[in-house]
Amino acid sequence: MVREIIIAVALGILNTAFVSLSILGNTGGTNFGTALATLVFWILSLVPLFVSGLGYGVKSAAISVGTSAVIAALAIGVPFALTYLGVAGLPVILLVRQALLWRQGNGVTYWYPADRLLLWWAGICIILTGLAMALLGWDDAMRQGLIDGFDQMMAQVAEMQDAAPRMTGEAFVALIPQYMGPMWGLFILLSGCLAQGVLVRFKKNIRPTPELSKMVLPQWLAIAFIGATVLSVLLDGTFPLLGAVEITLVTLFFLQGMAVIHVVSHRWNARAAILGVIYVVTIMMLWMVLLIAILGLMETWVGFRRRFAPPPRQEED
């Protein structure tokens, strides 16, 4: 027990160290390298929290989060510590708790399925968007500072390119919550995957890695996706919360679309090479993400995996 507490505290300290490095790196400039380093440290900062939870349990995750919050309060400030606790610590604890749920039947252990875990993740993205909207509405000074900073940046760009800016600072700030919630949610999701991969590598994972190829999103979510898309077009994207819902659902159906591709591709020749090309094109071209999300949406009613799945002996675990 003492050993686990020490490990949990150490992982909390490591989390705070990564957060501090991301903040220090962000003060050194605004070039691409600095921004990339900051992004990497932000993602890595969540990995120790997930390692603590997925490797040692929910209580361990709570100790790591509490340790990180206390150190952040002392080193950076109480407001930052509380904010980080809300947007990082609590989501990690919630996702770890759900991921470690299980039941047993006929001598078989059934772990909490990946699709339901992703629904919790989607809810976290929406809540984070709401928190960002509330923060911008509550803190007028911060909101005005963001507006002024964007207007100054666009004025400099317009001067260099001799063209009028296409967006005002006020419009840009209004859109921030729409993207911040899903973006931070992606960081959380990626960090959880990295942590599980590390734990599996060293055989310290509590549960097996969820099989995304078997995820089945509910039909009501597909209807919600279509409804959110229609409303977004009709309202011309003026509601950040609606936009965040749409982005989050696109991500979910993209994952289901990738699950379809992985299952169906077992019948392809040169499967590894084709999958590699799909991944590269998806990273380089945004429209591929939308196409794969549409494929995932169609899977809800068509059932490509059921129709084109390979024989059981060819399926991967």
Give the separation between CA 252 and CA 234, rounded to whole angstroms.
23
pLDDT for 37 equals 67
pLDDT for 42 equals 78
Per-residue pLDDT of the chain (317 residues), as tens digits, is 789 999 999 999 999 988 888 776 555 544 444 556 677 777 788 999 999 999 999 999 999 999 999 998 998 889 888 888 999 999 999 999 999 999 988 888 999 999 999 999 999 999 999 888 888 777 777 777 777 777 777 666 666 666 556 667 777 777 788 888 999 999 999 999 999 999 999 999 999 998 888 899 999 999 999 998 888 888 765 688 888 999 999 999 999 999 999 888 887 888 888 888 998 999 888 889 999 999 999 999 998 888 776 665 544 44
Nearest of 83, 239, 121 to residue 175 by alpha carbon: 239
Global confidence as pTM: 0.86
H or E segment at 213? none
Secondary structure (DSSP) of 271-288 = HHHHHHHHHHHHHH-HHH
What are the tens digits of pLDDT across the range 113-146? 999 999 999 999 999 998 888 887 777 777 777 7
Report how far apart, in Å, the C-alpha atoms of 263 and of each of 6, 132, 215, 280 are.
42, 38, 11, 19
DSSP state of 31: S
Could you state, in order of their start, the residue ranges of all structural domains in the chain? 215-312
pLDDT for 131 equals 87
Query: Which parts of 139-168 fold into alpha helices (H)?
Result: 140-161
In the numeric block, which tokens belong to residue 133? 């909207």
**Total residues found in the chain within this entry:** 317
In the numeric block, which tokens belong to residue 21? 């490095």
Please answer whether residues 251 and 295 qualify as being in contact, where contact means their C-beta atoms are separated by less than 8 angstroms.
no
pLDDT for 160 equals 64
Nearest of 253, 231, 251 to residue 242 by alpha carbon: 231
